[in-house]
Structure 1
Amino acid sequence: MTEVNQKTAYDDNNIFAKMLDGDIPYHKVYEDDKTLAFMDIMPQAKGHVLVIPKQKTADLANLEPEYAAAVLMTSKKVMQAQRKVFEREGIIQMQLNGAQSGQTVFHYHIHLIPSSIHELGRHAVAQADQSELANIAKQLAAAINDA
C-alpha cells in the first residue's frame, strides 16, 4: 500500500503565488487583506471565478482559520454578484484538494461557477477571450461594490 502525503508542499512558483506577488496579470473581481477573487482564464462556464487566500498553502487542511473564514466571506460576495450579473440562482461551488482529486494549481482555491453541474464544460480546455473576461470582472466588481 502506498503512503499518502497528507501535507502537500507549497510551491512558491505556482501561478497563483505569482499573481499574488504581482508577477502575472489577472482580471480581478475582488480583493481584501486576506483574499483575492479573479476570473478563471480557462473557464468551465461564463463567469467562472476563483477565490484564493493570501496565505500560501496548497490544501484546506493547512489553511489557517482566519483565512478559511475570509475565503468563505469573499465567496459569498462573489456568488451574490454572479447571481445579480448572470440572473441565475445556481452557482457551483467546487474545491479540490490534491492531485488525485483533480487539483492542478497547488494553492488552495475555490471555484465559483454560474452553471448547472449537468451543463458544466471541461476545465483547462480553451482559454477565454481576455476582453470578455475583463468585461465580466468589471461587472462582478461593480455588483460587489453596489451591495
Structure 2
Amino acid sequence: MATLFTRIIDGEIPGRFVWADDRAVVFATIAPIADGHVLVVPRAEVDRFTEADDDLLAHLMVVARTVGRAQEAAWEGTRAALVVAGFEVPHLHVHVVPARGEGELSFANARSDVPAADLDAAAERLRDALRTQGHAAHVPAALGSAAL
C-alpha cells in the first residue's frame, strides 16, 4: 500500500509543492512548527533514513540546503534547521524549518489550526525565494503539483 507521502506525490491527496526533481519533492507540512516549514521527501518509498542509499541521502541533503537558503532569505533573521524523526509516516522525510533558536524546534509547537490561505502564502513565499535564487527549473508550475 502506498504511503501517505506517495499519495501526496501522486496527486491523490493535495500538497503544497515548492520543489520537484526526478528523485525528490518538497512540500509544506499541514502542521508547521513555523511559517515555511517543509518536508524534503524522496519519490521512492524508503521507510527509514538508515535504509536509504548514500546517493539518495546526499541528494536529499543538497535539496534541503537549497530550500534552507531560500527560507533564510524569505524569513530574515532565521536559520534553516533540520529534523529527521521518521515516526509519523513510514516514508523518509527531512523537516526543514526556518527557526531563530533550538527551542522552536519541538513538535509540541506544531500548529494544526493554520488556515489554508496562510499555508499557501508561506509556500508561495518560499517558491518565490527559490526562483529568485535561480532554482525556477525545480519549482513546479502549480503549487498543488509535483510535476515540473
Q: Tell me whether the two structures share a fold, i.e. TM-score over 0.5.
A: yes
Specify the alignment match of 1:108 in structure 2. Answer: 92
The two structures have a TM-score, normalised by structure 1, of: 0.81
RMSD: 1.7
One-letter amino acid matched to 1:128? V
- For the pair 1:53 / 2:37, whether they are aligned, the reply is no
Higher RCO (C-alpha under 8 Å, 6+ residues apart) = 2
How far residue 47 of structure 1 moved from its aligned partner, in angstroms, is 1.4
Residues 53 and 109, structure 1, Cα contact 8 Å, conserved in 2: yes
The gaps in structure 2 that reach 5 residues or longer are 134-148
Cα distance in 1 between the residues matched to 2:19 and 2:69: 12
Larger radius of gyration: 1
- Once the two structures are superposed, the pairs formed by residues 37-48 of structure 1 within 5 Å of their partners are 37-48=26-37
What is the DSSP-based 3-state SS (H/G/I as helix, E as strand, rest coil) of the residue aligned with 1:119?
A: helix
Specify the alignment match of 1:6 in structure 2. Answer: none
Cα distance in 1 between the residues matched to 2:109 and 2:31: 6
Cα distance in 2 between the residues matched to 1:85 and 1:27: 17
**CA-to-aligned-CA distance 1:24-75 (integer Å, 9 cap, x gap):** 1111111111111111100112211110011111101211222212211110
The two structures have a TM-score, normalised by structure 2, of: 0.80
Aligned length: 131
Given the superposition, is the C-alpha separation of residues 91 and 136 from structure 1 closer, same or farther in structure 2, using an over 3 Å criterion? Answer: same
Specify the alignment match of 1:21 in structure 2. Answer: 10
The gaps in structure 1 that reach 5 residues or longer are 1-11, 98-102
One-letter amino acid matched to 1:118? G
- For the pair 1:141 / 2:130, whether they are aligned, the reply is no
Cα distance in 1 between the residues matched to 2:104 and 2:57: 29
Cα distance in 2 between the residues matched to 1:127 and 1:59: 28
Given the superposition, is the C-alpha separation of residues 125 and 133 from structure 1 closer, same or farther in structure 2, using an over 3 Å criterion? Answer: closer
- For the pair 1:132 / 2:121, whether they are aligned, the reply is no
Residue range with higher mean Cα deviation, 64-73 or 21-30:
64-73
How far residue 137 of structure 1 moved from its aligned partner, in angstroms, is 1.0
Percent same amino acid among aligned pairs? 27
Residues 42 and 123, structure 1, Cα contact 8 Å, conserved in 2: no
Specify the alignment match of 2:68 in structure 1. Answer: 79
